[in-house]
Amino acid sequence: MRALDELSEIVGAPHLLTSADDRAPYEVDWTGRFRGSAPAVVRPGRAAEVAAVVDVCRAHGLALVPQGGNTGLVGGGVPLEGEVVLSLRRLDAVGPVDAVAHQATAGAGATVGAVQAAAAEHGLRYAVDFAARDTATVGGTVATNAGGVHVLRYGSTREQVLGVEAVLGDGHRIDRLEGLVKDNTGYHLASLLCGSEGTLGVVTAARLRLTARLPHRVVALVAFDGVRGAVEAVAAWRSDLGSLEAAELVLEPGLRLVCEAFGLPRPFDRAWPAYVLVEAAAHHDPTDDLAAAVRAVAPAAVAVAPDRARGAELWRYREDQTLAVATVGTAHKLDVTVPLAALTDFVEEVPRRVAAIHPAARTWIFGHLGDGNLHVNVTGVADGDDTVDELVLTHVAELGGSISAEHGVGTAKRRWLHLTRSAAEIAAMRSIKRALDPDGILNPHALLPGE
């Protein structure tokens, strides 16, 4: 194909992958649920090459799917309709870190873990954090506005992005990496690209906000005799515990599954319906503050980690949920926000409703309690059967929640976008898409429903 020759000229033959074996890892997502096929995977090494790749694809009408670490969970980064994969992983430079401004520049292909490590070298910290930190990339996390376990204190990726360097779908390059905290000169294009899922432009680098490194950190696992108690506790901690860093929900079936799947000891001598993994971090030791805040909510049981190693062990009960569910089967993953007032009933109601239509299915729920963000994973339902997705997402919409809290819409959820976005909003999004990607080559099958 002529276009492939041109792409090869831009990136060099070793970086245009065309054999089935070379392409394979880029054609399927982490869960194995979303699998496609690409004529080629193109791996540019510089932003200028990304721009040249976009130009060639525009000229030939070739659709592109930008891809970072390929840790997405909604089929937004794999070539489901035969698109060319544009892998940004080679753009993995981190730095410079500006220790005065508390900012860093990072290439789209740098992992979140690499940014965290670079920040730590300067006594600072990158606040975005989640289990896939060492694979997920800056470009992917900007494109999806990734959340994670610290959103309740620091906000999601969008709150950390001060500017981006990107190639828009129309071929224009934007370059705003100065990191000005205050700059009210028109549309904030970085915010627009953040969460646009590769449909408007390809992010090649980002200027990221770093936060102070808090040297004292304490972790506890707190058990409750129901979800309601857990929700109320987190509400109290948000008011009273200034050092609150994370408040993550685990339910007994998920905790049992992690213990069985990975041979972990049970944290308490008996089971409780709900657990909250709570972390506090501060300039001074927050242990006493955390202990007082936990006591004040009268929990059923508490395990406080006396040191970092035990803290990491406690985190596994929460962070390993995804890996544990994967040992049961390929899950339908529904990443939703539920208003806190409705969250307790939702957690009880959803497994009942799922069981009513799929008696053999299992529903696993965990998530970021402080944000009202629950991860509903359903195993035992065929990949192509989306009745369970329909059921959960419709219920979420009825409650006034969101069909995607942090993973994005991708290809998996676009047919339900109308549930929580109005016709006017979708029309506005389409207008923006047409303006920035007039040839419709950037991730054309993600996010917006087909017309």
List residues binding ligand 2HG (CB under 6 A): 130-131, 321-322, 333, 335, 375, 377
Nearer to ligand 2HG, 67 or 363 (CB): 363
> By three-state DSSP, how is residue 184 classified?
coil
- What angle separates helix 227-240 from helix 340-357, to the nearest 10 degrees? 150
- What residues contact 183, with CB distance under 8 A and at least 6 apart? none
Nearer to ligand 2HG, 49 or 371 (CB): 371
- What residues contact 235, with CB distance under 8 A and at least 6 apart? 340
The least CB distance from residue 9 to ligand 2HG, in Å, is 39
> By three-state DSSP, how is residue 300 classified?
coil
Nearer to ligand 2HG, 81 or 383 (CB): 383
The least CB distance from residue 303 to ligand 2HG, in Å, is 20
**What CA–CA distance (Å, rounded) separates 372 from 62?**
40
Cβ atoms < 10 Å from Cβ of 297:
18
Nearer to ligand 2HG, 125 or 375 (CB): 375
Q: Tokens at residue 136, please?
A: 């997920």
Nearer to ligand 2HG, 337 or 377 (CB): 377
Nearer to ligand 2HG, 130 or 416 (CB): 130
Q: How far is CA 235 from CA 37, 228, 293, 340, 448, in A?
A: 46, 11, 11, 9, 35
Nearer to ligand 2HG, 335 or 437 (CB): 335
The least CB distance from residue 224 to ligand 2HG, in Å, is 20
The least CB distance from residue 71 to ligand 2HG, in Å, is 9
Nearer to ligand 2HG, 322 or 443 (CB): 322
Nearer to ligand 2HG, 34 or 94 (CB): 34
- What residues contact 234, with CB distance under 8 A and at least 6 apart? 247, 276, 278, 369, 370
The least CB distance from residue 39 to ligand 2HG, in Å, is 30
The least CB distance from residue 432 to ligand 2HG, in Å, is 26
The least CB distance from residue 103 to ligand 2HG, in Å, is 26
The least CB distance from residue 333 to ligand 2HG, in Å, is 4
The least CB distance from residue 105 to ligand 2HG, in Å, is 26
Q: How far is CA 116 from CA 123, 213, 286, in A?
A: 10, 10, 22
Cβ atoms < 10 Å from Cβ of 329:
15
Q: How far is CA 432 from CA 114, 170, 267, 409, in A?
A: 33, 12, 50, 17
Which backbone phi and psi does 173 adopt, to 5 degrees? Answer: -105, 135
Whether residue 357 contacts residue 388, with contact meaning beta carbons closer than 8 Å, is answered with: yes
Strand extents, DSSP E, 283-436: 301-304, 332-337, 362-368, 373-379
